[in-house]
Chains A and B, each alone.
Chain A
Amino acid sequence: MKTLMILLATVLFFACDNVEKPESNDEDKGITSKEEFNDLSIFNITSEWTTQHNKQIEFKDLQGSVLAVVMVYTSCQTACPRLAADMRNIEKQVAEKGKENVKYVLVSIDPENDTPERLTQYGKEYQLEGDQWLFLRGTEETVREFANVVAVKYKQISPIDFSHSNIISVFDAEGVMQHQQEGLGVNNKETIEQIIELSN
């Protein structure tokens, strides 16, 4: 418990450190950094994430790629495998059109259990492997924040079970959300068309 609190405290300080940055350049009237993103871009989120390859990244590192993003967790037995299948299906059809500047991002809603190793293993099991596949592990805090950006609702039901909404979101190369597909087993056609159009 204590460790958890320290961890949480560290995250909180860190979160505040991030927003403190503009203090040093007051003359710029609080412009967050040299980089200016679209006001609606997810690149404005400054949290750090760990990939399945144990690499630290921020969303802005994904600039230039169209992103298809879904929130899952690896111990999920029902909805997530179907979401993973949806993502694989979307990736396949987009790739057939020769579109390569697309990244398929799976954000874990269970950062406690979904270690990079576990995410790598999950990618293997569901054939979500290759440079286009990205698994992200955050903290309880950053995951909650990101879920709010994509309007995914979730609640931990038991230590290994979450209830969550099933949404695949598409972001353009500037990080602005352009499309959302809601529900399980829905037709992916529109999502695929959107990705192809955005990656032109």
Chain B
Amino acid sequence: MLRYFTIAILFFFHLNLNGQDLEMLKIEGGVYIPLYGSQEEVQVEIESFYMDTKPVTHQEFAEFIKQYPQWSKENVKALFADASYLTKWTADGEVPKHLKNSPVNNVSWYAAKAYCECQDKRLPTTDEWEFAAKASENSIDAREDSLFNQKIVSGYEKPKTYLKEVGQSSPNYYGVYDLHGLVWEWVYDFNSIMITGESRSNNNTDANLFCAGGAVSANDLMNYAAFMRYAIRSSLKARNTMSNMGFRCVKDYDDELELNQ
């Protein structure tokens, strides 16, 4: 058992030595009530995990493509990305200079997932992402804070925030930047269904095709910003790409890694 962990840890540092930016911070686990929960289990338990402090940038994604050219704009399979994949990139994989430090966008779920996996990380689950994103600059849970919510919603209204550079605003309670304000972010289980109970009372999943369809199962309708995120996610297919959609990675937390840091 220990041997596997040693291998995992060695791999971790191997990546580090390879110059991969491993700026991650621990998000202390806990229990929270997501916007959407099943009726039986309203509370969700989140285990501690590490989260990238910033969204993945164009520069970082360009390095990934150099190593894994099957994810270049030129080579990517249509099964894994739609036509607007990396639309602003030149065919030879170059990013316009002024975009290098801005969040990578127009990436599909498959590409985002592959990026994280190739760094021994993974995409966050919806619950993990939302759990970390409910923190404001000084509060671990700012969902009741109207100013916090207003700031997020007004961020959604601003055009072209994806052109901004990462890490320019204030970090949240955990030290994580830009969960709000720049881009929407892919999560691992973005395709989780909203309606619950195996559709026993409602065999028609069409309700899920509409933004407001799942609203009946929302626990807190006041949280409009989170509601928009759930709606966006449920409208996506994994090969879709959008100019205001990026991602960041997370990693499981375990004691041994912390001891070695």
Contacts and interface: CB of A to CB of B under 8 A. Distances in A.
Contacts of B68: 19-20, 22-23, 30
A53 B205 CA distance: 33
Contacts, number: 125
Given A5-B252, A79-B203, A148 B238 contact: yes
A44 interface: yes
Contacts of A78: 198-200
Contacts of A151: 191, 237
B10 interface: no
A170 B113 CA distance: 26
Interface string B212-233: 0000000000000000000000
A153 B238 CA distance: 11
A154 B192 contact: yes
A162 B67 CA distance: 37
A5 to B, nearest CB: 6
Contact of A183 (B67, B69, B189, B204): B204
Contacts of A155: 38, 189, 192-193, 196
B22 interface: no
B4 A9 contact: yes
Given A39-B79, A44-B79, A153-B191, A12 B200 contact: no
B17 interface: no
Interface of B: 1, 4-5, 8, 11, 38, 40-41, 67-72, 74-75, 77-80, 109-110, 113-114, 117-118, 120, 122, 188-189, 191-193, 195-200, 203-206, 208, 234, 237-239, 252, 254
9 contacts: A13-B120, A19-B68, A32-B70, A45-B79, A148-B237, A153-B192, A155-B189, A157-B40, A164-B198
B117 to A, nearest CB: 5
B70 A30 contact: yes
Nearest to A31: B75
Interface residues of A, number: 49
Contacts of A13: 11, 120
A166 B113 CA distance: 25
A104 to B, nearest CB: 22
B78 A19 contact: no
A157 B192 contact: no
A60 B208 CA distance: 32
A20 B197 CA distance: 40
Nearest to B118: A16
A164 B196 CA distance: 9
A8 to B, nearest CB: 8
A41 interface: yes
Interface in A15-32: 15-16, 19-20, 22-23, 26, 29-32
A110 to B, nearest CB: 12
Contacts of A166: 203, 205
A147 interface: yes
A30 B75 contact: yes
B38 to A, nearest CB: 5
A158 B40 contact: yes
A95 interface: no
Contacts of B254: 5
A115 B5 CA distance: 27
B2 to A, nearest CB: 10
A2 B198 contact: no
Interface in A147-200: 147-149, 151-155, 157-158, 161-166, 182-185
Contacts of A29: 69, 74-75
Contacts of A154: 191-193
Contacts of A112: none
A118 B79 CA distance: 31
B1 A76 contact: no
Contacts of B41: 158
Contact of B117 (A2, A16, A152, A184): A16
A90 B41 CA distance: 37
A147 B191 contact: yes
A6 B192 contact: no
A41 B80 CA distance: 10
Contacts of B206: 183
Interface in A127-150: 144-145, 147-149
